[in-house]
Structure 1
Amino acid sequence: MRLIRATAATAAILVAAALPASAINSYNATPAPERTEVGALVATWDDDDDPATPDRVDWVCSGTMADADTFLTAAHCTSDWPANVKFYVSLHQDVQSALDSATGTPAQIAAAVGVPGTAHNHPAYPGTAADTHDISVVEVSAEQMKARWSFTPATLPAANRLGQLGPQGLDDTSWVVAGYGTQEARRGPGGHTHPGGGVRMKAPVTFNALNNAWVRLAMTAPQGNGGACYGDSGGPNFATIDGKRVLAATTITGDSPCYATNVVYRLDTPGARDFLRPFVALP
């Protein structure tokens, strides 16, 4: 299983057997410039045990603007960092190129590509396997976001909407995963690597299974599916429900090589909705 945030510096050397988390595969995937509500989580953090020098900057996860000032992502993307970590939200289509072309200190580079924000994790994270409560928001300035990008926030699902549809209804539903993550595993000297990442992509996926907290989505290429991989954690899984695109779930984990299954966290459950209620207006 995969469940790890990714950085551009490490994505190419991830060994599949060691890891669990997410990215958009190369097969059946296309760029997603129209998904302007989908963004990358950028972080600066200390890398030399000196709190005065936050000397790393990189994109680390994906997410979605749920309203004008709320970026929805995964709690494992905003947890277990050095104390001086700072988060930024970027809606650049190609955040990796934006980072590569920016100059200055890590803080200046992060500010050049994103808007600073404050992370809030679900207080019960990491929970249990049945419900890890792996959900987080990053609150940003609506004014700064509007000044830099034009986007329409995603639509969240009504309470228990996926449960109401049930397996048969969800099997007939169109699903699309989006994010900035790496590609599926490539075999090479020393094991598997995961190339790419840092560009907003999308791919079709199909319904596999539903339980109280999770949806499992198939990423199998022969069925025309794409899928998620490292760096797509926190990113959206859109379902077309009643003719509308709905942010139904967020990418959390899946199989390590990123070929088979995307395991996504439902946003229509009481636990997810109770967490989101202070930050966004719920349907």
Structure 2
Amino acid sequence: MRIRILTVLAAVVTLLGITTNAQAIKGGVADAGQHPYVGQLLFYQPDEVDPRFTDPGGWFNCTGTLVNPTTVVTAGHCTFGTGLNGRPAPANTAGNDVWISFAEVPNYSILPPSSGFVPGNNAGRYTAWSRALNNSSEWVRATAHPHPQYDDAQFFTHDLGVLTLSRPVTMPQYGQVAAQNQLDRLYAANKQQLYTAVGYGLEGSGPKKSFGGDTRRRADLRLVDLNGVGGNGKGVSAKFSNNANTGGTCFGDSGGPIFVAGSRTLVAVNSYATNSSCAGTTGAYRIDQPDDLRFLATFGVRPAA
């Protein structure tokens, strides 16, 4: 459930994602403390399949932005299907099997290796991992809330989610949600405006290998089109550059912020890529639309004055 791709290769990438943690921004540079309110999610989906195990259950990574002491903004597909204490959550019930770290390099050494639970003790892995995460001072447990209109089959149409943290995380400043239609106004005023993507996703992906390592990185992008990517998400998604000159996003960056460069203003969340090598473009879900702002307001999150 990292950044998704809108191609038949999605199933292949999903299998890879189950067996390895998705890891840092494609290209770009180390964040170097510029966005301490951006964190990495680790979450459990009890219905997913991990091919190493005979019983179900998969762990995934995404990225999110802390917008107040107890609320994180991320992608809808990073919150949908999250387990509730290791089991599928009942319909219309939020899951709590998600943790977030705001460290620039999150600590995974606390988790026992999966190899110790293969092939028939996936449930035991959940018990061990959740206990270690709950006992950690770094990782904060949360409850996941997808957009009320989120549809996993058409994820890019309402790809917004919120985490409510089990304990507050105090910082000098937080990310700020954009005002309604702010991205339209920015694009009309200056088509060369830079935007900054931040995330923990892969630095490189391809058919034979992927590389990178669970480290917060950032890259500057340009907005290319307000009408989605290839007709997908028209009106609610935006197409950003994703190339060697400016960097881009990749698997693991899902839910991570796209800020107006030089600011804490969050205009979109990373949503999907168009191929398994993360080349070409970034499909980002806009959060400056009326339905998204109404959803965020139910958690006390409103655009900065």
- TM-score when scaled to structure 1? 0.78
Where do 1:229-240 residues align within 5 Å? 229-240=250-261
C-alpha contact 1:11 1:196 (8 A) present in aligned 2? no
C-alpha contact 1:69 1:142 (8 A) present in aligned 2? yes
| Gaps in structure 1 of 5+ consecutive residues | 13-21
C-alpha contact 1:159 1:269 (8 A) present in aligned 2? yes
| Gaps in structure 2 of 5+ consecutive residues | 50-54, 88-96, 113-126, 228-234
Change (3 A) 1:120 1:65: same
Where do 1:49-128 residues align within 5 Å? 60-82=61-83, 84=86, 86-95=97-106, 98-101=107-110, 105-111=128-134, 112=136, 113-126=138-151
Q: 2:92 maps to which residue?
A: none
1:248 pairs, out of 262, 267, 284, with: 267
Percent identity reads: 28
Report whether the alignment pairs 1:178 with 2:198. yes
Q: 1:38 maps to which residue?
A: 38
d(CA) in 1 for partners of 2:214, 2:152 = 29
Deviation at 1:165, TM superposition (A): 2.8
C-alpha contact 1:184 1:194 (8 A) present in aligned 2? yes
Deviation at 1:205, TM superposition (A): 1.1
Report whether the alignment pairs 1:159 with 2:180. yes
**One-letter code of the match for 1:123?**
P
C-alpha contact 2:45 2:57 (8 A) present in aligned 1? yes
SS at match of 1:163: helix
Give 4+ residue runs of structure 1 displaced > 4 Å after superposition. Answer: 3-8, 44-49, 54-59, 101-104, 127-131
Q: 1:16 maps to which residue?
A: none
Change (3 A) 1:28 1:117: closer
Q: 1:139 maps to which residue?
A: 164
More off after superposition, 98-107 vs 152-161:
98-107
Change (3 A) 1:184 1:40: same
SS at match of 2:268: strand
SS at match of 1:230: coil
d(CA) in 2 for partners of 1:48, 1:180 = 22
Q: Deviations over 1:159-203 (max 9, x none)?
A: 11112233x4352312110101112224xxxx3332223111111
Q: Deviations over 1:231-276 (max 9, x none)?
A: 1000001114xx7431110000012211111110111111211111
Structure with the bigger RCO (C-alpha within 8 Å, sep 6+) is: 1
Change (3 A) 1:230 1:61: same
Q: 1:275 maps to which residue?
A: 295
Q: 1:199 maps to which residue?
A: 215
C-alpha contact 1:219 1:260 (8 A) present in aligned 2? yes
- TM-score when scaled to structure 2? 0.73
Q: 2:282 maps to which residue?
A: 262
**One-letter code of the match for 2:213?**
G
Superposed CA RMSD: 3.1
